[in-house]
């Protein structure tokens, strides 16, 4: 119920009511919410207040709007801890989801100056470029491009890259992955990226670049990933 005598803003109380319905499973992803007018009449509040609550829930990723159709419950975002180095496949399995990949291309290319610097190899040296759409329960989550030195990672095939690269590196080649450095920034999706991820062109995405190293400090891969900002968020635990 809305308590109009509470110091807590009415729009915030309505947000909490809707979030509780989502968390209890009474509102499921894809469900349409009643119109703003219905909420206003039900709680005897203004439509402007309802719109304010809806807008905040849209911005926070709980709801989304479709022009001319209404407001709907969004898929919940996957929370990715920033501690620990795991593969996408490992992350999805931990969540009880089925990981998958759709290979866009797999080719041998000469390293550009930037890629050569990232991998500590000579410019124009042979590099595998692997572009994949990463899936969770058949839903696109990220567009990932890996660059790996062909002299370091011998015997790579399409069949292998359709599985887990980390499993192949460690299990088959005996390479000991030790640590990685990673940057995360906000970006706007291109038309090409949007098509792969099934989102609107110009929609918000997370641009992630990662360098992964072996125990002796040798760079083993450089990865550029475009994650759906509507389905992914990152979490870090900080201690004083």
Contact 230, 204 (CB under 8 A): yes
Please report, for the domain that includes residue 65, its CATH number.
Answer: 1.10.10.10
Q: Which tens digit of pLDDT belongs to each residue from 113-152? A: 999 999 999 999 999 999 999 888 888 888 999 999 999 8
Domain span at 191: 78-235
Q: Which of 51, 73, 95 is the last residue of a domain?
A: 73
DSSP 165-225: HHHIIIIIS---EEEEEEEEEEEE--HHHHHHHTS-TT-EEEEEEEEEEETTS-EEEEEEE
When divided into structural domains, the chain yields a total of 2
Q: Which of 73, 95, 116 is the last residue of a domain?
A: 73
Whether residue 205 is contained in a domain is answered as: yes
Please report, for the domain that includes residue 135, its CATH number.
Answer: 3.40.1410.10
pTM of the model: 0.64
Look up residue 141 and give its two tokens.
């989550």
Helix (H, G, I), strand (E, B) or coil at 151: coil
Q: Which tens digit of pLDDT belongs to each residue from 96-111? A: 767 778 899 999 999 9
Q: Which tens digit of pLDDT belongs to each residue from 182-195? A: 888 889 999 999 99
Q: What are phi and psi of 194, to 5 degrees?
A: -60, -40
Return mean pLDDT, the chain.
85
Both 208 and 90 in one domain: the answer is yes
């Amino acid at each position: 119920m809305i308590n109009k005598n509470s110091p807590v803003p009415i729009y915030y109380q309505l947000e909490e009511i809707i979030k509780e319905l989502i968390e209890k499973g009474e509102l499921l992803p894809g469900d349409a919410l009643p119109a703003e007018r219905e909420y206003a009449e039900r709680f005897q509040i203004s439509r402007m207040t309802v719109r304010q609550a809806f807008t905040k829930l849209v911005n926070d990723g709980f709801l989304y709007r479709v022009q001319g159709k209404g407001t709907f419950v969004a898929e919940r975002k996957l929370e990715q801890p920033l501690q620990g180095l795991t593969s996408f496949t490992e992350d999805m399995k931990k969540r009880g989801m089925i990981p998958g990949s759709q290979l866009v291309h797999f080719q041998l290319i000469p390293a550009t100056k930037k890629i050569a610097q990232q991998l500590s190899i000579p410019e124009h040296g042979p590099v595998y470029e692997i572009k994949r759409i990463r899936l969770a329960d058949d839903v696109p989550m990220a567009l990932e491009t890996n660059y790996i030195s062909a002299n370091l990672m011998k015997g790579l095939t399409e069949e292998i890259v359709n599985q887990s690269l980390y499993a192949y590196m460690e299990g088959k080649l005996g390479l000991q992955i030790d640590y990685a450095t990673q940057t995360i920034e906000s970006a706007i999706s291109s038309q090409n990226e949007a098509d792969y991820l099934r989102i609107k062109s110009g929609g918000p995405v997370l641009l992630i670049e990662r360098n992964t190293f072996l125990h002796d400090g040798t760079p083993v891969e450089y990865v550029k990933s475009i994650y759906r900002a509507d389905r992914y968020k990152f979490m870090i635990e900080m201690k004083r």
